[in-house]
Structure 1
Amino acid sequence: MSKLRILYAATEIDPFLQTTKVAEMLRRLPQGMQEMGAEIRIFVPRFGCINERKNRLHEVVRLSGINIAVGEDEKPLIIKVASIPTAKLQVYFIDNEDYFHRKSVMVDKDDKFHPDNDERAIFFCKGVLETVKKLGWSPDIVHCNDWMTGLIPLYLKTTYKKDPVFKNAKSVFTVYNNTFDNKFAGNIVEKAKMLDIDDAMLAGLASSDCNGFIRMGMEYADSVVKSDEDFSDDVNGLFQEYSLKKQLGQVGTGDNLLSSYYALYNELAN
């Protein structure tokens, strides 16, 4: 029996960056799955506050150089890697000078939401999938974590559906309590479009906020998981809306977390 292949996409991972619960989960879950025999790949944005020298990030030239379309603009993709020595895990960082070199994550030094956070999310989602294509590594499971990864399940079911690398991939979308009230500027639907995607498929983005990305992840993922946190009324409303269409994936907490996620992955893959 071949190893289960799991691709993780997330906003952050400890020890490189830790501002939310996502970082802790991405540190624990991939290592746990690897110890259970799974093959792992991890992708996160290379936010500018991640110290490259301290964390020994280096560019992978053979994977860099692709241009990623965000609306009418094309931005060069740079891929960097670093290892978590204690876990024997390699982490791939999605980088671009315009989007990720500022020394902050979602808000600036004055606590103002970056107006291009939607573009950064779109670039990240597309960049992950294009890089995995270039690696030629076919995941069984693509586990998307937090709002910034919310478009990946849609892209897997449309533009990348016939690609040999992704033809058997199933997606999991875990929602965390990390949304912002801010609205994105410009036509987000036009920015997010790809081949085989029409406006109706992107209707969930109409709210032009983080909840729109969550709505997209919920709609197109094969399984949706609610993290063990308290959510706003808006996000709880999304869960109620979603649960009328599909069943939420069930995972345990504490000591049961790893085994229940492993069971969920295998159920989807088989």
Structure 2
Amino acid sequence: MNGKKILFVSSELVPYLPENQVSLMSYEAPRMVNSNGGQIRIFMPRYGNINERRHQLHEVIRLSGMNLVINDMDMPLIIKVASIPRERIQVYFIDNDEYFKRKATFTDKDGNLFEDNDERAIFFAKGVVETVKKLNWSPDIIHVHGWLASMVPLYLREYYADEPLFADSKIVTSIYDRGFEGELDKKMVEKIVFDGIEKEKIDALQTPDYNNLLKTAMDYSDAIILASEEISDELKEHVKGLNKPTLPYVTFKETEEAYTNFYNTEVLK
């Protein structure tokens, strides 16, 4: 991985959120690349349940300040950064008071999905890309983890299709069994179509459930990693039908060697 630039985009990351498959692998994969001579950037949402004082988040004024249009509404983009001290890894946080100030990640205190999770996913995708553009940092690989990040491949390949910074970037999406019950807002397709993306290209999102979000992410990715031992049959069948480079599930101990080989021999070939 020496010298290769990898952008990690995740919906969850330790130590900022509790440990689970997504948040742990979103930490381990960049740590592995970093220790093997690669260059990394990590992006995640700045949820309101992240303790800014404890983790020493601070706003980056030169990156903040633009507005992103979400469903015909101007939403201010705020960028914050923090460091994971023992690894000397910097993390960028996508923030907006309307979408991320609440003291929870995906659901309310009763376990109900937030009604605007679809807009949060779109805002996060746009916010990541716009910030990387400001950084003028052209990644060799963009590795996506977690369902709230699942709009990143679609927006990169459609909304930002003419952006030269990402012309040679390869997109990898990790598939986890940790999803959600139910569906996001039924008007999600309309909100994406508002951005000029053709309705036919996001037909799966007519039913915006977990599997269809991941299918859409896979459709616009160059390679896929099965990051959980148990993946639904529906998602497995979709992976088979795409005929894209796919890394089968490996144990945690095998991750470093398997991911490094996959990046080098399948994704960057």
TM-score range, shorter chain: over 0.9
In the alignment, structure 1 residue 99 sits paired with structure 2 residue 103: no
Q: Does the CA-based 8 Å contact 1:172-1:225 persist in structure 2?
A: yes
Identical-pair percentage:
40
SS of equivalent to 2:15 = coil
Q: Deviations over 1:206-255 (max 9, x none)?
A: 11222221111111110111112324xxx421221331221451153233
> Is the 8 Å Cα contact of residues 71 and 193 (structure 1) preserved in structure 2?
no
Normalised by the size of structure 1, how large is the TM-score?
Answer: 0.93
CA deviation profile, 1:47-95 (whole Å, cap 9, x unmatched): 1000101110000011111211222222111000000010010000000
- Aligned-pair CA distance for 1:197: 2.1
1:63-212 alignment runs, 5 A limit: 63-193=63-193, 197-212=197-212
Matched, 1:60 2:60: yes
* Residues 6-26 of structure 1: CA deviation (Å, up to 9, x unaligned): 000001111111253111112
Q: Is the 8 A contact 2:2 2:36 kept in 1?
A: no
- Runs of 4+ in structure 1 off by over 4 angstroms are none
Q: List gaps (5 residues or longer) in structure 2.
A: none
Within 2, Cα distance between the matches of 1:212 and 1:74? 27
SS in 2 for 1:107: coil
CA contact (8 A) 1:158 1:195 kept: no
Residue segments in structure 1 that go unaligned for 5+ positions in a row: none
> What is the alpha-carbon distance in structure 1 between the residues aligned to residue 241 and residue 191 of structure 2?
29
Question: Which of 229, 243, 246 lines up with 1:249 in the alignment?
Answer: 246
SS at match of 2:53: helix
**Number of residue pairs matched by the alignment:** 267
Q: Which residue of 2 aligns with 1:263?
A: 261
Q: Offset of 1:156 from its aligned partner?
A: 2.0
- Taking the aligned partners of 2:125 and 2:114, their CA distance within structure 1 comes to 18
The normalised TM-score by structure 2 is 0.93
Deviation at 1:2, TM superposition (A): 7.0
Counterpart CA distance in 2 for 1:143 and 1:135 is 18
Secondary structure at 1:17's aligned position in 2? coil
Q: Distance in 1 between matches of 2:99 and 2:20?
A: 20
Mean alpha-carbon deviation: is it higher for 142-151 or for 51-60?
142-151
Q: Which residue of structure 1 aligns with residue 18 of structure 2?
A: 18
Alpha-carbon separation, structure 1, partners of 2:193 and 2:41: 26
